[in-house]
Amino acid sequence: KMGNETAKAELGRATWRFLHTMTLRFPDHPTPEQRTTLSTFFHSFALLYPCGECANHFQELLKELPPQTSSRMAASLWLCSAHNRVNKRLGKAEFPCDKLDETYDCGCGPDPSASTN
Ligand code: FAD
């Protein structure tokens, strides 16, 4: 039962960074296939995340707050809300979801498939 809190937190930070960066690169106008891919990704992720307690909580969270896949904005704000739910449960501060764009940079430059920029 005794885990390593430092390793768990480090994995959490790296994972959240990846997840937020990914949703912020999701298309503004996704195809039905892209929408299914994102939804399937999060459901698979919740089954596979390598911290049993975290994975179980996230599976329950997905039932209550299903992934929003209609657009980049919808997906990004959904993930921000989901992360804030985890923050609340862990006694952490709420993150302002209007600061997503300035917080996460994928380092990959403008998205050639984006309709603007
Ligand atoms: P983190 O929560 O890791 O966040 C990293 C950075 O992201 C913050 O510093 C901030 O800049 C930014 N951020 C914070 N909130 C948001 C937001 N809402 N939207 C966008 N950006 C934000 N740990 C446990 O002990 N028990 C658990 O049950 C648990 N469940 C988890 C479930 C998942 C799916 C994941 C990915 C992680 C889970 N963790 C859990 C780890 C936990 O969420 C934190 O990652 C870890 O405690 C480190 O916290 P932190 O304070 O460094 O910030």
Which domains, from first to last, does the chain contain?
19-101 (1.20.120.310)
Pocket probe mutation, ligand 1, options 73, 86, 98, max atoms within 8 Å of Cβ: 86
Report the candidate in 62, 98, 102, 106 with the shortest Cα–Cα distance to residue 80.
Answer: 98
Q: Where are the beta strands (DSSP E) in 1-117?
A: none
Measured between alpha carbons, how far is residue 7 from residues 2, 40, 49, 91, 106 in Å? 12, 27, 14, 19, 23
pLDDT tens digits, one per residue of 49-102: 999 999 999 999 999 999 999 999 999 999 999 999 999 999 999 999 999 999
pLDDT tens digits, one per residue of 11-38: 999 999 999 999 999 999 999 999 999 9
Q: Quote the ipTM score.
A: 0.99
The protein residue whose alpha carbon is closest to atom 27 in ligand 1 is: 54
